[in-house]
Every structure is written in C-alpha cells, then in structure tokens.
Chain A
C-alpha cells in the first residue's frame, strides 16, 4: 500500500534536517568512540557504492551502455575528475553507445 507523497517528503525532510543539525548544535567535543568513528567513516562509501551498482546498469536502455558508463565513471574519477565532469562523461558514454546499441 502506497503512502502519501507529501508525508514521504516530510519524513525525508525531517530526518535529513535532524541528521545535519543535531551534531552541529549538540556536539562541542570530538567524538572519542573508535568503533563509532570508524563506522561513520565507512558509511558514505558503502552506501553510495551499494546504490550505484547494479542500479547504473539497469538505469539505461541498454545494460551494456550502463556498464560502460560505470567503467568510464570509475576511470575518470580515478584520474581526478570532479563530480560534474564525471557525471558528464558517464552521460556522454551512454548517449554515444546507445546510438549503436539501441
């Protein structure tokens, strides 16, 4: 059963706000707990990696183009392209390949 879009958005907004504002307003000292620090340190990489693969392969019309975009994105990001340039390279890869594949 699907919920109400506005309630979904409100839940997202409140959680997003609390995550960002609570530490900023409450923490006045460095976090000491080593496990917690390490866990927080790894979370962003893990969650983004898990969200990117395999989703990128299914996002495009041709899975081959999606896989190629993944390869190109990994490569250019490795060589220091910023967020915007990497995103553009991935898009162009799909655009060009799908002229031949689709």
Chain B
C-alpha cells in the first residue's frame, strides 16, 4: 500500500534520490537538446516553438522526426504517423512500466509518469526494485526536464551565434545518442546487430533509389520501420525471457 502525499517521509526521500539521478541525465539532455534545437531552427521554428515542443513532447527521436516533417512541409497526418513510429518504443516502455505500478495508483500519477517516459528516465525508474514510487520520477524530472526544454531553446537561438564548425559538430550529438541506444543491445543479440546493419543499408539505398528518394524522409522512416520490424518479428519472434518481471497485481 502506498502513500501519495509529498508529506510522507518516504516520498520526500524518493524525490531527493530521484533529483540526484536527474542531474547527470539533465547534463546529457542539455547537449542533445542543443543539437535538437539546431534541427528545429533548420526546420524554421522559433526559439519559443522549440522550447514548447521539448516541454510538451520529451522525445529526442520523436521530436527530430517531427522537425524533419515540419521542414518538409508535410501533412498533419504524416506528422502523427511519424511521431507514432519514432516514439513507438515508449509504447513498449509504458507497457512494461504498467506492470510495475501499484494497482491503486491514482490516474494523475499515471498520467505524469507516462508523460515523462523517456529512454533515460524510464531506465532510471525501472532500475529501482519493487513497485515504482512516482516521487522518484518527479525528482528526476525536476532536475532533467528543464535542461531538455531550455537546451532546445538555446540550440535554436545559438544556431545563429555559433561558428559553423561548432554547429556542424553539435549536429551529430543526437545521432551519437541514437547509436548509444541501439548498439549495446546489438552486442548482446546477433539478430538486432544484423537487423541494424540491414537498416543502415536499406535506408541508404532508399535515399538514392529513383522514385523512392522522392518520398519524404519522415515517410520513408515510417515505411522502413514497419516493414523491417514486421519482418524481424515474423522471422525472429522474441522469446519470453526479457519480460520476466513479476507482475504486481
């Protein structure tokens, strides 16, 4: 049985330890958000629009995909689909997190915890044993989320001020982060490793092939993701081992 008031000492402690974990996460966010801000600027967004996007969406790949959609002047439907596909991993994380919440947790806490599911914050929260305390997540969010939103805003602003050399260097930060997400699992699973190589090859091929290269980048990403993930799921269904956490119901 869990207490849901910040007055409880247990929750205060959880908030504090969450905040501590949130500080290094926030530093990482700042650098990546800065690079995201450059992408936002290239898509024609104002500093405030960049700030707003990051404050509301909390998603590196998702926001980046969104900015490419805006840059391409694509439709709102394409935007919804691209966001869905780029953020699909959060759907999986949310499913996993649902198994770790107190069945009686009020909706408002589920809402806020869901809103802040990111690779890092989810990782930090889920690494804790037992039923999750929302105040731990709130502590981490209090430290990390402002870095994300303001980092994006400063990225949009400083895209003008920074020397071209630095902008060019910062623009790969986001991709570096993506690599750090996909490579460690590839080391453990040959299927993922081969899958990633195939993704690289097909994605590059599609950017050169006549007709296919004329499809917008966001839509190409959606099509490739759905096709390749379906193929992988059919050929190499995942075994049960990764989902063995006890259910808390």
Contact between chains at A28 and B98 (CB < 8 Å): yes
A66 to B200, CA, bound (A): 14
Q: A3-B73, A37-B238 are in contact. Are A87 and B31 (CB under 8 A)?
A: yes
Q: Which residues of B contact A21 (CB under 8 A)?
A: 94, 110-111, 114-115
Closest-CB distance, B232 to chain A (whole angstroms): 4
Q: Determine whether B145 belongs to the interface, using a CB cutoff of 8 Å to chain A.
A: no
Q: Which residue of A lies closest to B96 (CB)?
A: A23
A14 to B155, CA, bound (A): 24
Contact between chains at B233 and A53 (CB < 8 Å): no
Contact between chains at B79 and A11 (CB < 8 Å): yes
Contact between chains at A45 and B242 (CB < 8 Å): no
Contact between chains at A3 and B75 (CB < 8 Å): yes
Contact with A along B61-95 (1 / 0, CB 8 A): 11111100110010110011001111111111111
Closest-CB distance, B136 to chain A (whole angstroms): 15
A99 to B166, CA, bound (A): 11
B147-180 with Cβ < 8 A to chain A: 164-166, 168-180
19 of the cross-chain contacts (CB-CB < 8 Å) are: A3-B79, A8-B70, A13-B53, A15-B87, A17-B56, A19-B87, A19-B90, A21-B114, A27-B94, A38-B233, A40-B92, A43-B229, A49-B199, A51-B61, A56-B175, A74-B183, A83-B28, A90-B172, A94-B172
Query: Residues on A close to B: CB < 8 A?
Result: 1-3, 5-9, 11-13, 15-17, 19-31, 34-35, 37-56, 59-61, 65-66, 69-70, 73-74, 77-78, 80-95, 98-99, 102
